[in-house]
Amino acid sequence: MRKSLLVALTGALMLTAGCNTPWKPMNERAMMAMDSLQDLVDSCGIPVLQYYYFSPGLDKKGVVCCRDTVFDIPQPINERSIFQAASLSKPVFAYIVMRMVDRGEIDLDRPIADYTDIDRFVDKEMARQLTPRIVLSHRTGLPNWAAGPSSDEWPTSPITFKYPVDSCFAYSGEGYAFLQRAVEAIQGEPLDDIARLEVFEPFDMPTTSYAWQPEYDSIALIGFNRAGEDRGQGRHPRANSAYTLRTNATEYARFLKRGLLEGKGLSESAHKEMFTHQTHAQRYANESRDCDSTVFWCLGFGAVNDDYYWHWGDNGNFKALWLLHPATKEGFVYFSDRATGHDLLDPFLEELTGEKLPLNDWIRN
């Protein structure tokens, strides 16, 4: 049955114990931010926004639908609906790599070329300088992609460097794909099987996957461009650690809370290393902007000074973002199914945190 998004699906308050603690003001602020989502979704024309917020003693999740514009969506719209996570794929993969580091299966500072081939690289000497640490902190000097990663030609397309290795921050999915080949070679398994064992099963993420699953036919939402045109579910031809993860807010929040925030499954040293600044994240190597000044990159995700940790996702018609604040043990993640999905970031994040964070400017400009 096709659905008309004329009403909002309200968030469900799940856990309320512990609110008579110093966390109460934080929770009150967060609840006001969640309440603001309906108006923001309406003003941005976002068909479906799915979110999950957590803090000590409080979890809140919800699905908010645009009331002002009708979008025909054939799939059911609820908390089980699946979205493209886009680059929120990367922190999950980084966590897998750090578990392998703990087990001594891979070394953060050993050349990736010791684990897999470098056939696609034009400059083999530079390729041999790439390490897992350099990839996870986006210092490879590589472009984002050598060719469209969902294209037929991508698996054999030549890879050239934009900058010398470890000379600057240069966001790159291609680097992640190279490290993925090494991980698969070490484990002797494809990415999705590895992720299921290392992340999806331990953190109760049964419908999360890097590869298309048969049930996605009925639960993976379609995406819309800025013109409001239906662009379909967007099936990717191969699992890729940089952008093909599909999930929902409830399942991804379990990974954020237990895997990243609490460090479950990691040694204390590996967990600390993940959250250590590796580089100043000046988005464009040849242009310094005000919004770059407080943004850094850790192993698999970004940081605003030592306060907030975050990652964004952008697969064109699917936008997503998560934010962690370790000092208060707060976390938030959302997924959306239209190209306008990040238009709400500035007002929402200010409402949530009480601060003007530079994330939207860093992402979009």
Predicted confidence (pLDDT) per residue in 204-238, tens digit: 999 999 999 999 999 999 999 999 999 999 999 99
Those residues whose C-beta lies under 8 Å from the C-beta of residue 273, and which sit 6 or more positions away, are: 98, 108, 299
Q: Which amino acid is present at 101?
A: V
* CA–CA dist 284, 292 (Å, integer): 9
pLDDT more than 90, % of the chain? 89
Position 115 in a domain: no
Position 175 in a domain: no
The parent domain of residue 221 ranges over 3-92+192-364
Instruction: Mark residue 134 as left, alpha or beta (left: phi above 0; alpha: psi -120 to 50; beta: remaining).
Output: alpha
pLDDT of residue 12: 37
Position 254 in a domain: yes
Judged on CB neighbours under 10 Å (0-12, 13-18, 19+), 142 is buried
* CA–CA dist 50, 78 (Å, integer): 8
Judged on CB neighbours under 10 Å (0-12, 13-18, 19+), 124 is exposed
Position 113 in a domain: no
* CA–CA dist 61, 334 (Å, integer): 10
Position 134 in a domain: no
306 neighbors 298 (Cβ within 8 angstroms): no
pLDDT of residue 19: 33
pTM as predicted: 0.92
Indicate which CATH number applies to the domain containing 349: 3.40.710.10
The more confidently predicted of residues 180 and 16 is 180
pLDDT of residue 68: 84
Position 125 in a domain: no
pLDDT of residue 26: 56
For the chain, the domain total comes to 1
* CA–CA dist 16, 30 (Å, integer): 13
Position 178 in a domain: no
**Token pair of 164, please?**
């010398």
Residue 365 — pLDDT band, cuts 50, 70, 90? Answer: low
Q: Which amino acid is present at 79?
A: E
59 neighbors 6 (Cβ within 8 angstroms): no
User: Minimal CA–CA distance to 38: which of 61, 59, 11?
Assistant: 11
* CA–CA dist 33, 41 (Å, integer): 12
Q: In whole numbers, what is the pLDDT of the chain averaged over residues?
A: 92
Those residues whose C-beta lies under 8 Å from the C-beta of residue 342, and which sit 6 or more positions away, are: 312, 314, 319, 321, 360, 363, 364
- 48-55 and 12-15 strand pairing: unpaired
In tens, the pLDDT along 51-95 reads 999 999 889 999 999 998 889 999 999 999 999 999 999 999 999
- The predicted model gives 269-273 an average pLDDT of 98
> Any idea which residue has 């031809």 for tokens?
237
- Asked if pLDDT for residue 18 goes beyond 80, the answer is no
Residue 8 — pLDDT band, cuts 50, 70, 90? Answer: very low
Q: Which residues, listed in sequence order, are joined to residue 321 by a DSSP beta bridge?
A: 312, 334
* CA–CA dist 32, 46 (Å, integer): 20
What's the 3-state SS for the chain? CCEECCCCCCCEEEECCCCCCCCHHHHHHHHHHHHHHHHHHHHHCCCEEEEEEEECCEEEEEEEECCCCCCEECCCCCCCCEEECHHHHHHHHHHHHHHHHHCCCCCCCCCHHHCCCCCCECCHHHHCCCCHHHHHCCCCCCCCCCCCCCCCCHHHCCECCCCCCCCCCCCCHHHHHHHHHHHHHHHCCCHHHHHHHHHHCCCCCCCCECCCCCCHHHHECCCECCCCCECCCCCCCCCCCCCCCEECHHHHHHHHHHHHHCCCCCCHHHHHHHCCCCEECCCECCECCHHHCCEEECCCCEEECCCEEEEEEECCCCEEEEEEECCCCEEEEEEECECCCCCCHHHHHHHHHCCCCCHHHHHHC
